[in-house]
Amino acid sequence: MDNSSDLFRRLEKLNAIGAALSKERDIDRLLESILIAAKTITHADGGTLYRMTEDGRALRFEILRTDSLHIAMGGTTGNPINFPNLPLFNENGESNDSMVAAYAAIHDKTVNIADAYTEAGFDFSGTRSFDARTGYRSQSFLTVPMKNHEGEIIGVLQLINAQDPQTHKVNPFSSADQSLAESLASQAAIALTNRLLITQLEELFESFINLINLAIDEKSPYTGGHCQRVPALTMMLAEAADATQEGPLASFRMDERDRYELKIAGLLHDCGKVTTPVHVVDKATKLQTLFDRIQLIDTRFEVLKRDAEIQALRRQLALRGNGYAAADETIWQEFHEEVAALDADREFLRKTNVGGEAMKEEDQQRVRDIGSGHKWRNVDAVETEFLTADEVVNLTIRAGTLTLKERDIINHHIVATIKMLEQLPWPKHLTRVPEYAGGHHERMDGKGYPKGLTREQMSVQARMMGIADIFEALTARDRPYKHGMKLSQAMGIMANFKKNGHIDPDLFDVFVKSQVYLKYARQFLDSQQIDEVDAVDLTG
């Protein structure tokens, strides 16, 4: 192959490398690709990529390769580079011009050395020591500074021992090699800078998301953990679905961008809860608002008991001097019976206030009877019913602690979430975040909210979040109104949800067969919650 053909081929490769670098998202792989590409187009046997330290006073080893010695360190290899940083200045603040990589960075100048052993002006003692230990012969060096779009040096690309492609004889780096390396260094610096800027923006964006979740956490300690656990569980299920090789989800696959999009949706799935009143989110008892109003009812009972005692004493006083001892005793006995009945009613209301799975109709009626049966005088000395209409509504809640109105308030958080997320100018790779985050309360049968979507109208990712949200809620230990369920109980409920069209059946089968529930439990649940689960029965 003549020189012109080889140069043309290398130019084509340079263009292809530039396009590939611009697409790489992982910093380690990007740095590795830069060095390997530089070695390839210059036929170099080895090379090192340095990055400028944060304080701008030294170069840090990032990637190191020497093919003939089978040395590969840094990057994705997992082999750390333990060499100390290369200082750009000495203790007196003078430039470290004796080190060729430092010189290139300090003076923004490419250094092309034909033979390190005969080159004057640079300190290659470390190179000679390395050669003596390994039997290598470091000869030609090409050291190129890397500048970002603002003209700042962000690193140095150093190549060693240019080889003839046919004979592998070590030659000096040619002017063409230097031009290609400088062009690649320029492209690489732009790609690296862009990737770092994008990474910084992503980190800033995620920090804002965490800030929202922190606000929810500070507002209510009962939801902050949920905001972190649901995304984690969603990603566990997503990875399991991606790894599935058979069944309805065998063709489902996610790349890194898909994963990031789902991760962001998971983190933001409950951001609308910033609009939910804290006394509704934290409602641990039926009568709780900013405080538990059962205390007011306790006070009313004490007032009734006091009034009953006063009435009994007045009746006894009216009998004084008439010698009606038996009648006097009867009055006192009736008083104690009335107090006992009041105490029984008070204890009943206190238990009722706690809430539960299902309240009997006769218990609901007893609440109403107590509310209208006892009369007491309020602060205005007006005789009124013992329980207000609002208190009766709350105390007769059939299950849980929320009234229908309060459930609507809670449910509104998903409407607020969608409204908030749809206001953001999402980039192309995140455009589905509102749909993923906004669909976790929908049902497969179309009976969910807020849009009443059916399974066919939902993405697989939104269905994943629905499963994660429900399972986390069932097993959570930090809710104010219940204890975290054991695995077997929670999974039994999930299986019923699968049967009645609440959750996606195919994803639930993956959830079970891949033991996503167990992986999550070991990381987030109390050990006492983890019991035996019959996977065959759940999927059968």
Q: How far apart are CA 7 and CA 28, in angstroms?
A: 29
Q: Supply the pLDDT for residue 92.
A: 84
If we measure between CA atoms, which residue out of 528, 529, 498, 526 comes closest to residue 512?
498
Q: Are the C-beta atoms of 277 and 285 separated by less than 8 Å?
A: no
> In the predicted model, is pLDDT for residue 22 greater than 70?
no
Helical H segments across 319-396, by residue range: 325-354, 361-373, 389-395
Beta strand 44-52 with 86-87 is unpaired
Distance of CA 501 to the CA centre of its chain: 28
Q: pLDDT tens-digit profile of 393-415?
A: 889 988 888 778 888 777 788 88
CATH number of 220-275+412-539: 1.10.3210.10
Of residues 514 and 76, more confidently modeled: 514
In 10 A of CB 400, how many CB atoms? 17
Return mean pLDDT, the chain. Answer: 86
Q: Supply the pLDDT for residue 193.
A: 82
Q: Please, which pLDDT band fits residue 49 given cuts at 50, 70 and 90?
A: very high
Q: Supply the pLDDT for residue 540.
A: 66
> In the predicted model, is pLDDT for residue 344 greater than 90?
yes
Per cent of the chain over pLDDT 70 is 91
Q: Supply the pLDDT for residue 8.
A: 57
Q: Are the C-beta atoms of 353 and 287 separated by less than 8 Å?
A: yes
Of residues 49 and 195, more confidently modeled: 49
Most confident of 116-120, 240-244, 281-285: 240-244
| Section 453-458 average pLDDT | 95
Q: Supply the pLDDT for residue 304.
A: 85
Q: Supply the pLDDT for residue 224.
A: 54
Q: Please, which pLDDT band fits residue 4 given cuts at 50, 70 and 90?
A: low
| Section 357-369 average pLDDT | 89
Looking at 163-177, 209-223, 239-253, 500-514, which range is the least confident one? Answer: 209-223
Q: How far apart are CA 418 and CA 395, in angstroms?
A: 33
DSSP for 112-175, please give it.
Answer: EES-TTT-SSS--HHHHHHHHHH------EEEEEEE-TTS-EEEEEEEEEEE-TTT--EEPPPH
Q: pLDDT tens-digit profile of 427-445?
A: 898 999 999 999 999 999 9
**248 preceded by a cis bond (ω within 30 of 0):** no
Q: Supply the pLDDT for residue 3.
A: 62
Q: Please, which pLDDT band fits residue 292 given cuts at 50, 70 and 90?
A: confident
Most confident of 27-31, 113-117, 227-231: 113-117
Per cent of the chain over pLDDT 90 is 46
Q: Supply the pLDDT for residue 497.
A: 95
| Section 128-133 average pLDDT | 92
512 burial class (0-12, 13-18, 19+ CB within 10 angstroms)? buried
DSSP 8-state assignment for residue 277: -
Q: Supply the pLDDT for residue 145.
A: 94
| Section 19-35 average pLDDT | 74
Euclidean distance between the first and final Cα of the chain, in Å? 66
Give the CATH fold of the 3-198 domain. Answer: Beta-Lactamase (3.30.450)
Q: Are the C-beta atoms of 44 and 10 separated by less than 8 Å?
A: no
> In the predicted model, is pLDDT for residue 104 greater than 90?
yes
Q: Where in the chain are the domains? A: 3-198, 220-275+412-539, 294-401
Q: pLDDT tens-digit profile of 83-101?
A: 999 999 988 888 999 999 9
